[in-house]
């Protein structure tokens, strides 16, 4: 099974930049999208279906904000929208799909960039989400957690760790949360295969950041350790350009 996570920064904007043509190249079996910024009726499902994918989306109540979707060539056994936490669900941040004994959770973590209140909410959301996946793992041990985490875990994951030490997305409390995730039985699948620096998934749209590869690695596909033997290949795809993020790819063996 081939899985991609991709923050598209607006699904309709991505379509205008060739997203459907990219889908037609069959880049993965399951594609988890974040920040679709579209209500249910505005998601271009017909166009996506022409590329061979079923579409399951979960939108924020606020128009043009947040939202997640799962595009899949493999029919899921179950789809669950939300994680049962009121504010997170109002913002359309979590969607889950079960495929046999495999469960994929697609999540768009809050960014915290718009002020102190949102940073406080980010910490609240992280605590709630951690509890959610711990409970879920007890029932569904083969978990894949995809998404835009809006957190760089280590200094290797950000182009300028010194200047950004006080920036949301690289704050000590956020990085500690990532450490706790990995210490509690989850695998950073990209770092499982690649320990090289300068591997990023998001770039500012200012000052030529992408052209100069001054980025942040904030998008992840993480799995439970029970799936480690099935990790076949993982890579970041910086040349795919429908967004200020790029896709992250994971292949699992049977």
What is the number of other CB atoms lying within 10 angstroms of the CB of residue 116?
9
Side-by-side strand order, sheet with 78-81: 78-81, 94-99, 102-108, 142-148, 219-224, 186-188
The rounded mean pLDDT for the chain is 97
Q: What is the tens place of the pLDDT at every residue in 89-117?
A: 999 999 999 999 999 999 999 998 878 99
Q: Which residue has the tokens 């459907």?
A: 20
Side-by-side strand order, sheet with 231-236: 54-58, 68-72, 30-34, 2-7, 248-252, 231-236
Dihedrals phi, psi of 207, to nearest 5 degrees: 60, 30
Dihedrals phi, psi of 168, to nearest 5 degrees: -60, 140
pLDDT score of 194: 98
* Active-site annotation, residues: 148
Q: How far is CA 186 from the centre of its chain?
A: 15
Q: Right CATH number for 2-252 from 3.40.50.970, 3.40.718.10, 1.10.1520.10, 3.60.10.10?
A: 3.60.10.10
Helix ranges restricted to H, 41-85? 45-50
The proportion of the chain whose per-residue pLDDT surpasses 70, expressed as a percent, equals: 100
Does 219 score more than 90 pLDDT? yes
The radius of gyration of the chain's CA atoms, rounded to the nearest angstrom, is 17
Q: Decide: residue 166, CB within 10 A, 0-12 exposed, 13-18 middle, 19+ buried.
A: exposed
Widest pairwise Cα distance in the chain: 47
Q: How confident is the model at residue 233 (pLDDT cuts 50, 70, 90)?
A: very high
Mean pLDDT across 205-213 = 95
pLDDT score of 139: 97
């Amino acid at each position: 099974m081939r899985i991609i996570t991709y923050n598209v920064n607006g699904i309709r904007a991505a379509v205008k930049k060739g997203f459907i043509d990219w889908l037609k190249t069959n880049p993965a079996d399951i594609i988890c999208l974040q920040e679709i910024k579209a209500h249910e009726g505005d998601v271009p499902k017909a166009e996506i279906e022409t590329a061979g994918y079923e579409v399951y989306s979960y939108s924020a109540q606020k128009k043009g904000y947040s939202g997640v979707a799962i595009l899949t060539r493999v029919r899921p056994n179950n789809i669950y929208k939300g994680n049962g936490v009121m504010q997170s669900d109002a913002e359309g941040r979590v969607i889950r799909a079960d495929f046999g004994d495999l469960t994929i959770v697609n999540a768009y973590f809050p960014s915290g960039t718009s002020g102190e209140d949102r940073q406080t909410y980010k910490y609240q959301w992280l605590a709630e989400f951690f509890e959610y996946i711990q409970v879920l793992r007890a029932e569904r041990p083969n978990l894949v957690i995809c998404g835009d985490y809006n957190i760089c875990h280590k200094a290797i994951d950000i182009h300028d760790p010194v200047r950004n030490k006080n920036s949301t997305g690289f704050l000590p409390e956020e990085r500690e949360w990532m450490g706790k995730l990995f210490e509690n039985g989850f695998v950073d699948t990209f770092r499982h295969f690649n320990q090289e620096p300068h591997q990023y998934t998001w770039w500012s749209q200012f000052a030529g950041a992408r052209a100069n590869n001054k980025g942040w690695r904030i998008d992840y596909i993480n799995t439970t350790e029970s799936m480690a033997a099935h990790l076949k290949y993982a890579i970041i795809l910086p040349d795919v350009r429908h967004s200020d993020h790029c896709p992250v790819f994971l292949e699992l063996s049977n």
